[in-house]
Chains A and B, each alone.
Chain A
Amino acid sequence: MPASPSDLKQIGTIVKFESEFENWKSIVGNIFLIGLASVIVTIILVLSPSRPPTAEIFSGTFLFPVFLFIPLAAIFFAGNNVTSEFESKTGYIIFSNPVKRSVLIAGKFLASLLYVFWSIVIFYIGCVISTLYLYGTVPQSIFGSFALAFLYGCAVLGFVFLFGSVSGNGMVAGTLSFLILFLVMPLLQSFLVDMGHEPWYLLTHAAGSINAFGGTSMPGTTTIFGMKSYLELPNPILSAIVILIYFVILFGLSIFAFKRKDML
């Protein structure tokens, strides 16, 4: 009887299995769409009558769609990933193996994160190439922006994983995450801004730091679906901490919920 491998090894096995070819079509499709999006954004910005005057503003504007595609990529991939064992009943097989549920969800999370990570990387590569081509330089702060975008991806996945672990339904997880990130939080943010209060603790506000880097981004770039945003730039350090806290709490809760969920 072989001894069970370490948790870390098991996580590695799960990540590999979850990221393997089962989803390659959707991964390739997503990469293609993101690549296409970066080309379109470049064309729009280049053809725009008021072309951004500096590389910083160009990059900041270019990166605006990350607010859309990070949640979409996370919901698209992770929604089913976290709930598949419950929904398609494969849990009867996997849960009866000597694997801790926390290990299983960690593996699934990393596989989803890998997917989101590559989506972000592709878009940032698009941004770097366009900025370099048009301005001959790339702002240093783009690396900080990338780190924040990655962190934002983790936090968004946290929402999807939490709702998925509680409901056991991919559709519910995706819909709830979408509503929270595109409706509830932006509405709350808009309301608080109207009251003259900076909603620094809201994930969507903190995520505004992603394209408001270098202190040169245009005010209002975090506006989502026309909702009002805070006109001053969010503090990137504070934003990073807020996003990190969101991630830690959401992922911690999703592990708790995943461990307690009955495989009926």
Chain B
Amino acid sequence: MEVLTTENLTKKYGSLLALDNLNLRIRRGRCVGLLGPNGAGKSTTIKLLCGLIRPTRGRAYINGIDPASDPKSALNDVGCLIEVPIFYRNRTPLEILYYLGKLRGLKFPELRERAKECLELVRLSQWAKTKVRKFSLGMVQRLGIAQAILHDPSILILDEPALGLDPRGIRHVRDMTKELVRQGKTVLFSSHMLYETREICDTVALINKGRLLAYDRIENLEKIFNIRMVEIETVRPLSTLQLEKIRRLKPVRSLVTDGNGGNILKINFDGDRDTCAELHAELVGNIGAKIVSFKPSVGALEEVYLQLVEE
């Protein structure tokens, strides 16, 4: 069942066409990454879905309800985080969560417990009674995440949730989002960070200049664009002979070395998951590489992204 749908969704700001006939259908339990360069229309899409702006043409639906005409029903089961949120500066996180919780129908003492849990989850417990005006950008972003999950929604719409966070915070948000996806929640996740998207999402929607360029599972896109990449870390850099042997392997299209002294290999190859497994066996067996890690590389998604955006 589709929980997020857009039908010919179009938005113009004066003469600027920000979104052009966007058609998206996101099924329940999916995690979709909304990718695109700056000004591509990602935030516009998210704002339309959350009822913050009205479409010029077309419709957006959440569980079949248009948020522009009936935000109360449409947004009941949705948690949103849009850009770096701005909160009421003279309020504390607890006061804000109580306010938003009450608007959503949560009652005490459940609301108190839930607010406490959410603040713990985003590591803001010790700041629960501090005014938001004293918060850093990262803390505000974390509070934004807390308010989005306060009512335990089954749909999450997150616009650049890692914006303003330090590496630890980024990792925390990534793990948290993964956990929410694992719990079966539907997530629409807009980001510039391809690595984060690759890690969290199973499907991506690539948009540029307001138009949808591709919408498919990451694996399928890589297959369509004939780009499969693995990133391999070895204990020691491989010898020239070993690298030459890898290059001569049938499925290998290209090989790039990276990392400290060249102990990271990025291999672009033809084939599917079986080929990937065979490649792994070949490296360990015939070539004798001592492998520390072997994982799909974000480079493939990057290639797809760049090809589509440049086209």
Residues of A at the B interface (CB closer than 8 Å) are: 1-5, 7, 10, 13-14, 17, 21-22, 88-101, 103, 260, 262-264
Contact = CB atoms under 8 A, between A and B. Distances in A.
A184 B99 CA distance: 40
Given A93-B85, A97-B100, A263-B53, A22 B80 contact: no
Q: Which 5 pairs across A and B sit closest by C-beta, in order of nearness?
A: A96-B80, A2-B105, A263-B52, A262-B53, A96-B50
B1 interface: no
B103 interface: yes
Interface stretch (B20-28, B150-158, B225-233): B150-158
Contacts of B76: 1, 3-4, 98
Interface string B71-93: 11111111010110111111100
Contacts of B77: 1
A1 B153 contact: yes
Contacts of A89: 85-86
B65 to A, nearest CB: 10
Given A1-B153, A13-B102, A263-B52, A96 B75 contact: yes
14 contacts: A4-B72, A4-B73, A5-B103, A21-B90, A89-B85, A92-B85, A95-B51, A96-B50, A96-B78, A96-B82, A96-B157, A100-B72, A262-B54, A264-B53
A21 B82 CA distance: 27
A93 B72 contact: no
Given A1-B153, A98-B75, A22 B53 contact: no
B36 interface: no
Nearest to A107: B103
B190 interface: no
Most chain B beta-carbon neighbours within 10 Å: one of A1, A5, A97:
A97
Interface of B: 13, 47, 50-54, 71-78, 80, 82-83, 85-91, 96, 99-100, 102-107, 144, 147, 151-154, 157
Contacts of B106: 2
A103 B70 CA distance: 12
Chain A binding surface SS class: loop
B104 A97 contact: yes
A263 B103 CA distance: 19
Contacts of A260: 54
Most chain B beta-carbon neighbours within 10 Å: one of A92, A94, A100, A262:
A92
Contacts of A95: 50-52, 71
B103 A92 contact: no
A104 B88 CA distance: 15
A90 B52 CA distance: 11
Contacts of A94: 100
A1 B72 contact: no
B105 A93 contact: no
Nearest to B90: A22
A109 B47 CA distance: 25
A130 B144 CA distance: 53
A94 B88 CA distance: 10
Contacts of B87: 90, 93
B107 to A, nearest CB: 8
Most chain A beta-carbon neighbours within 10 Å: one of B54, B90, B104, B106:
B104
Contact of B103 (A1, A3, A10): A10
A90 B80 CA distance: 13
B52 A98 contact: no
